[in-house]
Amino acid sequence: MTSEDIRSTLLTCLSDVAPEVDTEALEDDTDLRDELDLDSMDILRWVQGIHKALGVEIPEEDYGKVVTLGDAIDYVSARV
Binding site for another protein (CB under 8 A): 18-21, 33, 36-37, 39-41, 44-45, 47-48, 51, 57-60
Closer to another protein by CB, 2 or 19: give it.
Answer: 19
Pairwise CA distance, residues 52 & 17, whole Å? 14
Q: Which CB atom, from 4 or from 69, has the smaller least distance to another protein?
A: 69
CB of 11 to another protein, least distance (A): 16
CB of 5: closest distance to another protein in angstroms? 21
For residue 65, how far is the Cα from the chain centroid? Answer: 11
Query: In angstroms, rounded to a whole number, what is the distance separating the alpha carbons of residues 48 and 57?
Result: 8
Q: For residue 44, report the phi and psi dihedrals to the nearest 5 degrees.
A: -60, -45
| In the complex, least distance from residue 27 CB atom to another protein, rounded to whole angstroms | 18
Which residue, 27 or 61, has its beta carbon nearer to another protein? Answer: 61
Q: How far is CA 33 from each of CA 11, 26, 79, rounded to the nearest angstrom?
A: 15, 13, 23
